[in-house]
Chain A
């Protein structure tokens, strides 16, 4: 190729490559598999952090501790979901969690608080939309969330049968995420 041809092809190739990159990025954002503000979890491949949380008051579910997670995950992989009633994306993923729980996947909830934001509407929210959780811990100080590396709600973690965190979704589990990532993962870990 002559120098002139190279100079002509180079910008065209760069534009094509950029177009491909943007297409992958935007379609990932639409499906929920790519979050431009996303931060990879430091917990993947590591054991579940040790904690014990009280149950949600006035709600008929027991509290949640790391021991509960390890006992349940020894039988089959479990999901741990950080959630709050004021969190709109939590409502987006709620039908998916209800469906998985109905199929027998153990889904544990941690009601997320920060030092400034409490969640007085938690029980009303569960009553209104349904409760997919077999256990719910209430993280009043946000301390357990920090131990898991949570930086927003919803966040969902999948734990394998050795008690190791294998997957983290920061943001809602859309039906696409459920079908393309979560279900194959649960089948692999079973």
Chain B
């Protein structure tokens, strides 16, 4: 029981420490904590194109560091979050955004959860309907009834 409690404590400590583990050099940080917080929120939305499945906030790649610096320059210059993301998207395309915008090209991506759910529901519906429509076996004939009674008597 004590071991379990210890494991739980360790787990919660790890989970709590998770978001703070982003690779940000203190020298990169903006002096204004509010601006730094915004820069991090933007950084979490931008893909590091070198590692591709990490945000620039989580990546140690040189390009991620360059982009973090540019994000901070834009934030310090007074750009809104959307303006900074537009600045980077103009250079690297929509793929750089970890939340892809809804457009003609991404509509299949955004619609896929609903489509898959609909297909699943349709499959379940079809399955149950087919089960119900299995015809009931025809009633026993006189001969069969007599045979069953004979067998039960033995």
Contacts and interface: CB of A to CB of B under 8 A. Distances in A.
Chain A CB within 10 Å, residue with most, of B49, B67, B69: B49
A117 B66 CA distance: 11
8 contacts: A39-B93, A39-B95, A41-B93, A42-B91, A114-B62, A114-B63, A146-B91, A152-B49
B66 A149 contact: no
A142 B63 CA distance: 8
Interface string B84-102: 0000011111011000000
Contacts of B63: 114, 142, 146, 151-152
A143 B66 contact: yes
Contacts of A114: 61-63, 65-66
Contacts of A41: 93
In the complex, the 7 A-B pairs of residues with the closest C-beta atoms, listed nearest first: A114-B62, A151-B49, A42-B93, A142-B66, A115-B65, A116-B62, A149-B91
A37 B48 CA distance: 12
A115 B89 contact: no
A37 B95 CA distance: 11
B95 A115 contact: no
Interface string A26-50: 0000000000010111110000000
A51 B96 CA distance: 23
A90 B118 CA distance: 49
Interface string A104-138: 00000000001111000000000000000000000
Contacts of B65: 114-116
B115 interface: no
Nearest to B68: A115
Interface of B: 49-50, 52, 61-63, 65-67, 69-70, 89-93, 95-96
A167 interface: no
A141 interface: yes
Given A40-B95, A42-B89, A42-B93, 11 more contacts: A39-B96, A42-B91, A115-B65, A115-B69, A117-B62, A143-B70, A147-B91, A148-B91, A149-B92, A151-B50, A151-B92
Contact of A149 (B50, B69, B70, B93): B93
Contacts of A37: 52
Contacts of B66: 114-115, 141-143, 145-146
A54 to B, nearest CB: 18
B6 to A, nearest CB: 39
Nearest to A40: B93
Given A115-B69, A147-B91, A39 B62 contact: no
Nearest to A170: B49
Contacts of A152: 49-50, 63
Contacts of A151: 49-50, 63, 92
